[in-house]
Amino acid sequence: MYANSRIPESAQSGLHEALESRVNKHAATDFRKPYAPYNVAAFEASLAGWDRRAPLLLDAGCGVGHSTIALARAFPDHYVIGVDQSEDRLSRKKPYPDALMPTNLVFCRADLVDYWRLLADAGIRLDRHYILYPNPWPKIGHLTRRWHAHPVFPCVPRLGGRLECRSNWPIYIAEFARAVELLTGVPAPWQPLEAPSPLTPFERKYRDSGQTLYQCVVELDQLEEQSS
Ligand SMILES: C[S@@+](CC[C@H](N)C(=O)[O-])C[C@H]1O[C@@H](n2cnc3c(N)ncnc32)[C@H](O)[C@@H]1O
């Protein structure tokens, strides 16, 4: 049945007690996992159509890509990249005929653990960066599977721009915000989100199930300007 989705159940009632030590440890350690060649090839292919001048928008973990298309339509001057590790999701039929598909977007099948680092290593800056409804991994023992507690996360705020994460699990968003604060030194506000026009299928499903949605938005470039 549609619209019967549940908020993640967890034994956690607040921030994970190991969150801060994890984030601090990852911030102090180089994450040296070698790149998989298929991610390097996908990364290069995804940037082949970029003129190196258009502002970049990354839809990280774009799933079936509906948000990527909507964002490409909303920001026609941006070069928009939708990255997901699932070929199956990326190749699902889109809600637009080919003729109406925006031309300023590319889909890329890659693992974000490599893709984010490849962007950072190439010195590429994002203008807008979306992490929409990431898998919440609500079990206490799964902390490091949440993006903000993963070793790759320190390079995410380094990519700059306007970073936005959305979730139906407030603890995920509170942790995400705290991790960004720890890494950047500046408060990362988070709040409930109204979604009259859902951006993604997960957002639509959660909203139609009557759940409260949450978002954290950080303007990373402004933070850098203030601190310089
Ligand atoms: C819960 S879905 C949300 C999809 C979409 N953003 C939405 O809101 O409809 C999470 C997505 O993240 C993708 N994902 C998870 N881990 C990933 C990784 N390491 N690299 C790339 N994509 C990943 C999954 O394949 C999945 O499509």
In a domain, 217, yes or no: yes
Q: What is the pTM of this model?
A: 0.96
Q: What residues contact 97, with CB distance under 8 A and at least 6 apart?
A: none
Q: From the alpha carbon of 203, which atom of ligand 1 is closest?
A: 8
CATH number where 165 lies:
3.40.50.150
**pLDDT (tens digit per residue) in 168-197:** 999 999 999 999 999 998 889 999 999 889
Question: What pLDDT, on the 0 to 100 scale, is given for residue 227?
Answer: 58
**pLDDT (tens digit per residue) in 124-177:** 999 999 999 999 999 999 999 999 999 999 999 999 999 999 999 999 999 999
In a domain, 12, yes or no: no
Question: What pLDDT, on the 0 to 100 scale, is given for residue 226?
Answer: 61
Asked if residue 33 has its Cβ within 6 Å of ligand 1, the reply is no
- Measure 22 CA to ligand 1 centroid, in angstroms: 22
**pLDDT (tens digit per residue) in 111-128:** 999 999 999 999 999 999
- Residue among 30, 5, 52 at smallest CA distance from 117: 30
Asked if residue 164 has its Cβ within 6 Å of ligand 1, the reply is no
In a domain, 200, yes or no: yes
Give the 3-state secondary structure of residue 136. coil
Question: What pLDDT, on the 0 to 100 scale, is given for residue 99?
Answer: 84
In a domain, 78, yes or no: yes
What is d(CA 21, CA 43) in angstroms, rounded to the nearest whole number?
Answer: 31
Number of structural domains (the chain) is: 1
Asked if residue 65 has its Cβ within 6 Å of ligand 1, the reply is no
Asked if residue 201 has its Cβ within 6 Å of ligand 1, the reply is yes
In a domain, 152, yes or no: yes
Tokens of 30: 């180089």
The model's confidence at residue 9, banded by pLDDT at 50, 70 and 90, is: confident
